[in-house]
Amino acid sequence: MTVVFILAAMVLGAVIGSFMGVVLIRLPDGRPIVADRSACDTCDKQLEPFELIPVLSWVIQGGKCRECGSAIDRWQLASEVGAALIGAIAVLLSYFPIWAMLLGWQLLLLAMLDLRHLWLPRQLSALLGASGALFALVMGYWANDVMILVQSMVGGVFGFAALWLLGQGYLAWRGQEGLGGGDPPLLGAIGLWLGPLGVIHTLLVASLGGLAIAAVLWRAGQRITPDTMLPLGTLLALAAWPVFLWQGL
């Protein structure tokens, strides 16, 4: 029965990931997301239903448009595969798989947006925060423990304030921005899901990830300076989901 649930979660994740891929590609350009039918980004040919099957259609078509032969954006495939894996892992490791999937998919989209565009839309961070507050409200009601909701609120304020103050301190020290404007709202939204201790753990894991990436870049011959840009939002998003799973163990 567990295998059935895992497969179902992977299929659902791939479908969600397909939509997320559209958001990832179209939203930064201000293009319609749901109003227009899916079409090739190069020749604008509308896609047939069988061309919309997540992952499988990409494999069958060799990652190319059937009409013009141009390459299908690999981020689309990455989104579908990543969301499918999140579904499987959530069923395997979380006591609250639906919530784990909801969090994981939102974090994946934000991570990809920041990695590809260095952009964290405030609307998506707000949606992440709203779902985190709802999670805390439901868990608090289920456990009859108001402190769950209190910790969520404290985590949200702490997460936002920690990065906002850090950014202001860096600005005062060096006279230039050191953090993107979307990073504090993202960590605030994460705090609503994870609470204040989860914020600390997320910062720790993200920092270790950033150091590892810097080390790899340095070994590859790239000069690392205080001005070297790393997608902090991506690091935070990728760190937060394992922390959420660990909190539930």
- Rounded to the nearest 5°, which phi and psi values hold at 35? -75, -35
pLDDT for 15: 96
- Mean pLDDT, rounded, of the chain: 92
Does the structure show a pLDDT above 90 at 180? no
Per-residue pLDDT tens for 74-111? 999 999 999 999 999 999 999 999 999 999 999 999 99
**Torsion of the alpha carbons at 223, 229, 235 and 237, rounded to the nearest 10:** -160
Q: Which of 21-30, 55-64, 123-132 has the highest mean pLDDT?
A: 123-132
Provide the 10 A C-beta neighbour count for residue 224.
Answer: 12
Query: What is the pLDDT confidence band of residue 43, given thresholds at 50, 70 and 90?
Result: confident
pLDDT for 187: 98
- Quote the CA–CA distance of 128 and 150 in Å, as a whole number: 18
pLDDT for 1: 60
Query: What is the pLDDT confidence band of residue 237, given thresholds at 50, 70 and 90?
Result: very high
How many angstroms separate the Cα of 65 from the Cα of each of 26, 41, 59, 223?
Answer: 17, 9, 11, 38
- Quote the CA–CA distance of 119 and 110 in Å, as a whole number: 8
Per-residue pLDDT tens for 106-144? 999 999 999 999 999 999 999 999 999 999 999 999 999
For 182, the 3-state DSSP assignment is coil
> Domain locations in the chain?
1-93, 121-249
pLDDT for 45: 77
- Quote the CA–CA distance of 26 and 32 in Å, as a whole number: 7
